[in-house]
């Protein structure tokens, strides 16, 4: 049997504690990303139905939702110049960023240029982390 050195135990304990306190997201099943307060579930297939994320708080089941709005078309991202030399321009999504419903809202993510637009469903009364990026095709 191998003997554990005195340094190994603190390293293992610190690693476990850091992982527990980090609040990082994990993936436990396909199309689901788990966070400490809930999870994002991805719907759609990316071809016939657009991809979109749904936030499901811990202890709740996936809600029945209205269909996601159509993604913006002919509405390119707006590039805002700062007017200051050496400061890069900011890319801002189109004006329509939120579509409200009775029990929550669809929030638009992406910028239409470097990241495709996509929706995330956010229930009323919760603050959630930004959803993960869409899968690569």
- Give backbone dihedrals phi and psi of 55, rounded to 5 degrees, phi first: -80, 130
Average pLDDT, the chain: 73
The structure tokens listed for 110 are: 């992406």
As beta bridge partners, residue 85 has none
Q: Residue 94 domain-assigned? A: yes
Domain assignment of residue 110, yes or no? yes
User: Minimum mean pLDDT among 11-25, 97-111, 119-133: which range?
Assistant: 11-25
Higher pLDDT, 32 or 28: 32
Q: Residue 98 — pLDDT band, cuts 50, 70, 90? A: confident
- pLDDT tens digit string along 43-94? 988 888 889 999 999 998 888 888 888 887 655 555 666 566 666 666 655 5
Please state the rounded mean pLDDT for residues 13-26.
Answer: 42
pLDDT for 67 equals 84
Long-range contacts at 124-131 (CB < 8 A, ≥ 24 apart): 126/37, 126/38, 126/55, 126/57, 128/35, 128/37, 128/38, 128/55, 129/25, 129/35, 131/33, 131/40, 131/53, 131/55
Q: How many domains does the chain have?
A: 1
Mean pLDDT of 112-133: 87
Closest Cα to residue 127, out of 104, 97, 100? 104
Tell me, yes or no, whether 7 lies in a domain.
no
| Rounded percentage of the chain residues whose pLDDT exceeds 90 | 22
CB-based contacts of 83, cutoff 8 Å, min separation 6: none
Please report which confidence band the pLDDT of residue 10 belongs to, taking 50, 70 and 90 as the band edges.
Answer: very low
Alpha helices in 8-67 (DSSP H): 8-21
Please report whether residue 60 resides in a domain: yes
Domain with 81, as residue range(s), is: 24-123
């Amino acid at each position: 049997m191998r003997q554990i050195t005195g340094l190994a135990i603190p390293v293992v304990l610190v690693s476990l504690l850091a992982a527990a306190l980090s609040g990082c997201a994990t993936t436990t099943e396909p199309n689901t990303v788990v966070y400490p307060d809930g999870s994002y579930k991805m719907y759609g297939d990316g071809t016939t139905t657009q991809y979109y994320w749904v936030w499901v708080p811990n202890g709740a089941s996936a809600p029945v939702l209205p269909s996601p709005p159509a993604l913006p078309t002919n509405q390119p991202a707006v590039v805002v110049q700062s007017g200051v030399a050496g400061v890069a321009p900011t890319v801002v999504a189109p004006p329509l960023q939120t579509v409200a419903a009775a029990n929550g809202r669809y929030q638009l993510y992406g910028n239409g240029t470097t990241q495709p637009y996509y929706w995330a469903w956010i229930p009323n009364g919760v603050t959630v982390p930004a959803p993960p990026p869409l899968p690569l095709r």
